[in-house]
């Protein structure tokens, strides 16, 4: 569905210096797109950006999504066919420490993007990434569907729910009625893992740091269940929707919210992630649960029926493969191998080959 679509397209990616944005930029470049990045400077080394930057970005603007003037100028210069909005404050625990910045970045940053597109009269297709945590979580086994209520206990989750509502309002008030503007959709992914994620207070990066230091992995919530998926599975959904939405008529049913998560067998507790990782990188872990720590949801599952029915999309790598590929990437990166970019592209090619073998339409 999208392997030929992005060739020659101009694609604007916010958050390209981050983990998910870095992989997306690299994949788009491999597909033949011209990628225009807009993001804050990357986190200190090590990071994924320093691996993929030489081959993935045609032009970039290092600026804040909260700066509407800089954002509008970058959009005008790029004149994109498609926009993927990934820039965000992405951490639950950090949102407790920096609530104002989290709301400002995740909500008003999204509004800044949509308002810039509106005022510039851009016909670009827009895909806005929010989070699986945008749902009002009742802590049940039921898998959340796109029409379930939005909400959140913590600041991060609420900010993502608010970003969803902002997109919904802009779609109804402006994008749907203005013939100059394109289609707009939101995407809600599961808990993403993969090579190049170095964020603090995420279980896999925390595991990698502990293993590299020869220390036990400290696990805060070993029983918390999440929908785990590799970053490439997540991004294959984004790219599939982006291509379909760009080719769909105005106000297509595709201009809506989509979940992109793993199959039900990947809805597993944090403990399972750690134990799977230790199969590829031996070490130990310790339960450091604290009943007084900031609230984090104990159970969260996503339903992906809509993406399957309307886009023909399905995940490619199993839970075990996702964790194994993550561990292999980090061991390769920190083994002193200077060909990590080549290895990263090879991992992308291996993923595509598996998708093709599985009969995925986008990889055919």
What are the tokens at 271?
A: 């403990």
345 in any annotated domain: yes
Please tell me the predicted confidence (pLDDT) of residue 292.
67
Query: Against a cut of 0.85, is the pTM above it?
Result: yes
Q: What is the CATH number of the domain that holds 334?
A: 3.40.50.720
- The range of the structural domain enclosing residue 79 comes to 10-363
Q: Is 2 a member of any domain?
A: no
Supply the pLDDT for residue 364: 82
Alpha helices in the chain (DSSP H): 19-30, 49-56, 68-78, 92-97, 99-103, 109-120, 155-170, 203-212, 231-247, 270-280, 305-311, 319-333, 340-357
140-185 tens-digit pLDDT = 778 999 999 999 889 999 999 999 999 999 999 999 999 999 999 9
Q: How is residue 135 written in tokens? A: 């749902």
Place of tokens 């913590």: 154
Q: Write the pLDDT tens digit of every residue in 241-291.
A: 999 999 999 999 999 999 999 988 888 999 999 999 999 999 999 998 877
Closest CA to 273 of 326, 236, 309, 231: 326
Residues with pLDDT less than 70, the chain: 292-298, 336-338
* Structural domains in the chain (count): 1
Report if residue 139 sits inside a domain: yes
Whether residue 45 is contained in a domain is answered as: yes
Contact 22, 196 (CB under 8 A): yes
Q: Is residue 4 part of a domain?
A: no
Task: Give a yes or no: residue 1 inside a domain.
Answer: no
* Within a domain: 3: no
pLDDT at 248: 97
Flag whether 246 is in a domain.
yes
């Amino acid at each position: 569905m999208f392997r030929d679509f992005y060739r020659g397209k101009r694609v604007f990616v916010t958050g390209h210096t981050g983990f998910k944005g870095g992989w997306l930029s690299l994949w788009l470049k491999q597909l033949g797109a011209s990628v225009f990045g807009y993001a804050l400077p990357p986190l200190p080394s090590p990071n994924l950006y320093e691996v993929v930057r030489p081959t993935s970005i045609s032009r970039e603007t290092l600026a804040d999504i909260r700066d509407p003037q800089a954002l509008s100028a970058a959009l005008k210069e790029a004149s994109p066919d498609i926009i993927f909005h990934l820039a965000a404050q992405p951490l639950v625990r950090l949102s407790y420490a920096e609530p104002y910045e989290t709301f400002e970045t995740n909500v008003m940053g999204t509004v800044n993007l949509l308002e810039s597109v509106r005022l510039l009269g851009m016909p670009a297709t827009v895909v806005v990434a929010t989070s699986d945590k945008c749902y009002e979580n009742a802590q049940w086994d039921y898998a959340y569907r796109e029409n379930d209520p939005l909400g959140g206990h913590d600041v991060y989750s609420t900010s993502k729910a608010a970003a969803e509502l902002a997109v919904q309002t802009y779609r109804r008030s402006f994008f749907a009625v203005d013939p100059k503007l394109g289609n707009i959709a939101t995407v809600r992914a599961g808990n993403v893992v993969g090579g190049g994620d170095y964020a603090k207070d995420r279980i896999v990066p925390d595991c990698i740091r502990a293993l590299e230091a020869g220390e036990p992995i400290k696990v805060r919530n070993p029983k918390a269940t999440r929908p785990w998926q590799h970053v490439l599975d997540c991004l294959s959904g984004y790219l599939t929707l982006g291509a379909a939405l760009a080719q769909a008529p105005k106000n297509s049913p595709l201009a809506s919210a989509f979940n992109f998560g793993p199959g039900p067998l990947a809805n597993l507790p944090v403990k399972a992630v750690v134990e799977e990782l230790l199969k590829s990188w031996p070490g130990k872990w310790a339960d450091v649960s604290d009943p007084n720590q900031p609230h984090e949801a104990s159970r969260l599952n996503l339903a992906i029926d809509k993406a399957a029915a309307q886009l023909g999309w399905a995940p490619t790598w199993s839970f075990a493969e996702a964790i194994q590929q993550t561990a292999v990437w980090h061991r390769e990166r920190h083994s002193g191998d200077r060909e990590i970019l080549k290895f990263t592209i090879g991992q992308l090619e291996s993923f595509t080959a598996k998708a093709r073998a599985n009969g995925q339409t986008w990889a055919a």
